[in-house]
Amino acid sequence: MKKIILLLMLSAAVFSCKNSEEKNVEETTTENLENTENLKAYKGDFIDSNGALVLMGTNFIYGVKKDVLSEDLSKQVAKVKKNDFDMVGVIVRGVVSKNTDSDSEWEEVITIKEIMRVNDTPSEVDIKLEETAKKK
């Protein structure tokens, strides 16, 4: 049930009003590294909820491939967020690829290669959902 609520919140945030475009949540330009691999820098909100890792920007939503760097990012974000559903602004470099993992439902996943920045405060919520008690 929590995963469904999380997906609904993420979908609502992506398709919400155009005021979100004014925020600093966007894909940054491609930067070439000195090594042979070309990595893009991505700026967006990161959330780790019950093991579901997601990076959401203005024009994209990617599942995050679980590895050592994504676990490190989750730990850094956990220090900043106030509740399980808080999203924290991050800048990472990585490679986006088609998802080949049958356990994940994301079309595309990002493999994080470098954590560039983690914000000190959680991102502001565009839409706030409140849970109400059911009447019997």
Per-residue pLDDT at 42 exceeds 90:
yes
Q: pLDDT tier at 31 (50, 70, 90 boundaries)?
A: very low
Backbone phi, psi, residue 60, to 5°: -155, 155
Average pLDDT of 13-22? 51
Model pTM?
0.64
By residue count, the chain amounts to: 136
**Between 100 and 30, the higher pLDDT residue:** 100
pLDDT tens column, 82-103:
888 888 999 999 999 988 877 7
- The CATH code belonging to domain 2-122 is 2.40.50
Q: Tell me which residue has tokens 């986006």.
A: 96
**Between 96 and 135, the higher pLDDT residue:** 96
Kindly list the domain boundaries of the chain, sorted by start residue: 2-122
Q: Tell me which residue has tokens 């994940």.
A: 104
